[in-house]
Amino acid sequence: MTTGAAVMSCRDVSVRYGASVALHDMSLDMHRGEMIGVLGANGAGKSTFVNALAGWSRGAAAVSGEISLLGRSIARVKPHVRFRSGVALVSEGKNVFGRVSVSDHFRLIRIPAPEDTRFRVTADEIFELFPRLAERRSHLGGQLSGGERQMLALACALLSCPRVLLLDEPSIGLAPMIVTELLQTVRRLVDRGLPVLLVEQNAEAALKVVDRVVLLETGRKVLEGGREVAGDSRIQDAYLGKRKE
């Protein structure tokens, strides 16, 4: 169930890398308790979009358009300040520190003061959500499997008390069973109120948990709708492998 005004919004966000435009006029509203899937083929502009929301880029990206958090513009705010304001991005690289233990990762996070609009979990709850991390709390980041690193990156994002969570391809490189488990865990967080933007190439897995999807093609939103869009031929053709030729 979604409630109230948008937590995060963007209007006409475009991103250029030099002369090439990777994202055109993207607009989207994210609400409490809502999980939105961002689908699209490789190179469609999915990472460019979530990175722009977080104020981050792998290169010299020129971002235009409006981005707001709880009605306040953050479009010109630095990435670390956006993070402190509650915009948590788990980027494609699943960044964790190789020589820092699981429990020391948690100690590195400065937990902000409690506020109604922030999602709050304790380290104990994190270990309940991710029992694998509890078993491996003394292991170093570099000793974890891909799935465990993904869980740790997600756990750190959650401990920062986010207002929105942006997940860039959490399923990449993970076994199908782990993907299902991970996405179901994320869904439970959404049901506790946290808005989540989930970037996925794996449309089939995403469509099981999201409320709404947007489909990007070469940097443009070409489709937006509820789960019923799973039946749209553009999604089926491109990602579910059901093309009949």
Binding site for ligand ADP (CB under 6 A): 17, 22, 40, 42-48, 58-59
Q: Does 48 bind Mg ion (CB under 5 A)?
A: no
Q: Does 91 bind Mg ion (CB under 5 A)?
A: no
Q: From the CB of residue 130, how many other CB atoms can be counted at a distance below 10 Å?
A: 23
Binding-site partner at residue 4 among Mg ion, ligand ADP, none, CB < 5 to 8 Å by type: none
Binding-site partner at residue 97 among Mg ion, ligand ADP, none, CB < 5 to 8 Å by type: none
Q: Does 51 bind Mg ion (CB under 5 A)?
A: no
Q: How far is the CB of 168 from ligand ADP (least distance, A)?
A: 7
Q: How far is the CB of 121 from Mg ion (least distance, A)?
A: 26
Q: How far is the CB of 169 from Mg ion (least distance, A)?
A: 6
- Check the CA dihedral 24-196-91-145 and report its sign: negative
Nearer to ligand ADP, 52 or 156 (CB): 52
Helix or strand (DSSP H, E) at 3: strand 3-17
Q: Which stretch binds Mg ion (CB under 5 A): 29-37, 46-54, 105-113, 218-226?
A: 46-54
232: alpha, beta or left, given left = phi > 0 and alpha = psi -120 to 50? Answer: beta
Integer angstrom CA distances of residue 227 from 4, 46, 101, 215: 21, 19, 39, 12
Strand 61-69 relative to strand 72-73, pairing: antiparallel
Binding-site partner at residue 231 among ligand ADP, Mg ion, none, CB < 5 to 8 Å by type: none
How many residues touch Mg ion under the rule CB under 5 A: the total is 2
Integer angstrom CA distances of residue 108 from 136, 143, 219: 17, 18, 36
- Check the CA dihedral 59-60-64-68 and report its sign: positive
Q: Which of 7, 28, 47, 91 binds Mg ion (CB under 5 A)?
A: 47
Residues in contact with 40: Cβ distance below 8 Å, sequence separation at least 6, in sequence order: 46, 201, 215, 216, 217
Binding-site partner at residue 40 among ligand ADP, Mg ion, none, CB < 5 to 8 Å by type: ligand ADP
Burial of 145 (0-12, 13-18, 19+ CB in 10 A): middle
**Whose CB is nearest to ligand ADP?**
59
Q: Which stretch binds Mg ion (CB under 5 A): 43-51, 55-63, 73-81, 220-228?
A: 43-51
Half-sphere exposure of 15 (CA within 13 A, CB side): 29
Q: How far is the CB of 26 from ligand ADP (least distance, A)?
A: 11
Judged by the rule CB under 5 A, the positions of this chain that interact with Mg ion are 46-47
